[in-house]
Amino acid sequence: MEPSSGALGAEVVGIDLAKDVDDATFEEIYHAWLDHHVLFFRDQGITPEEQAAFAARFGELEAYPFMEPMSGHPHVIRIVKEPETKFNFGGGWHSDMSYQERPVKATLLYALEVPARGGDTLFASMTAAYEALSPGMQTLLGGLGAVFTASKVHGAAGLYKNADHPMTMKGDTVRAEARFVHPVVRTHPDTGRKGLFLDPPHVERFENMRIAESEPLVEWLGAWATSSEFTTRFRWRVGSLAVWDNRCVQHYALNDYPGERREMHRTTVAGDVPY
């Protein structure tokens, strides 16, 4: 296990995910995942079936609601950016599917085609970001709930309705307009550690506050939570797989490879109601 930064991330060596990972080895992987928040595996050669099977070791699989899955693989979506498209998927700090009543627990992303340079993914530890706040700010945030929704991204006038978007999104207006309140400071159900749970593209406002009242603090917190000290950056190669814990991590897919193609396979694992 080679840690990739002071805040989070570690590369796992010596594991072939195409072969059966025995229970004792998986237990070690799972504990390392809880410690490091995001794990990276290099030089894998896995099929969508093998990816889904490995993901299912982390928990029950959950399909992404706004895109058709790969044919024959209901829990794997293709995340593709074509050379001629400008927009990329996940190009802003966020936590996957946080707009649901039960935001997803884990995401597994596997690289099939990567640009010659660029296309890295950034990760930020929400545990580190919370722990570095002043006691006064921790107390203030501890009493706050935030209203999460997919509306700003997947709603009728949302970002992903942009015609330039490289991937076909399913219009699911009911789900896009749903709203759920989650605590801004979340307790990790496996470790008991507290962390920020804030995802600016999917947060409308704080509970019982107006958008205008919430916005400055949401913006400040978003910037704080993704300060360089709390991050790591992963350079993809074909065959790399990352698995991150959305309960304590935000991530950001960089869009810095114009004219090149990038293709990934993504699987998500169901989570609990945050508390």
Question: What is each CA distance from 59 to 62, 64, 161, 175, in whole angstroms?
Answer: 9, 15, 31, 23
Q: Is 131 exposed, middle or buried (0-12, 13-18, 19+ CB in 10 A)?
A: middle
Catalytic residue among 36, 96, 186, 245: 96
Does 253 help bind ligand SIN (rule: CB under 6 A)?
yes
Active site residue 179: no
State which of residues 8, 10, 61, 90 lies at the interface with ligand SIN (CB under 6 A): 90
Choose which of 89, 148, 160, 257 interacts with ligand SIN (CB under 6 A).
Answer: 89
Contact between residue 188 and residue 272 where contact means Cβ atoms under 8 Å apart: no
By CB under 6 A, tell whether 121 contacts ligand SIN: yes
96 catalytically annotated: yes
Contact status: 243 vs ligand SIN (CB under 6 A): no
Tell me if 266 contacts ligand SIN by CB under 6 A.
Answer: yes
Q: Residue with structure tokens 């895109």?
A: 67
Q: Which of 94, 182, 188, 202 is catalytic?
A: 94
Q: Does 79 engage in binding with ligand SIN (CB under 6 A)?
A: yes
Give the nearest distance from C-beta 259 to ligand SIN in angstroms: 17
Q: Catalytic residue at 154?
A: no
Contact between 274 and ligand SIN by CB under 6 A: the answer reads: no
Among residues 264, 267, 269, 274, the one that binds ligand SIN under rule CB under 6 A: 264
Among candidate residues 156, 150, 64, 62, the one with its CA nearest the CA of residue 99: 150
Strands 106-113 and 203-206: unpaired
Beta carbon nearer to ligand SIN, 104 or 185: 104
Q: Is 98 in the site for ligand SIN (CB under 6 A)?
A: no
Residue 108 is a binding residue for ligand SIN (CB under 6 A): no
Respond yes or no: is residue 266 known to be catalytic: yes
Site for ligand SIN in 10-49 (CB under 6 A): none
Q: How many residues bind ligand SIN (CB under 6 A)?
A: 11
Q: CA end-to-end span of the chain, whole Å?
A: 31
**How far apart are CB 23 and ligand SIN at their closest, in Å?**
28
CB of 204 to ligand SIN, least distance (A): 20
**Closest CB 79 distance from ligand SIN, rounded Å:** 5
The residues that touch ligand SIN, with contacts defined as CB under 6 A, are 79, 89-90, 96, 107, 109, 121, 251, 253, 264, 266
The residues assigned a catalytic role are 94, 96, 251, 266
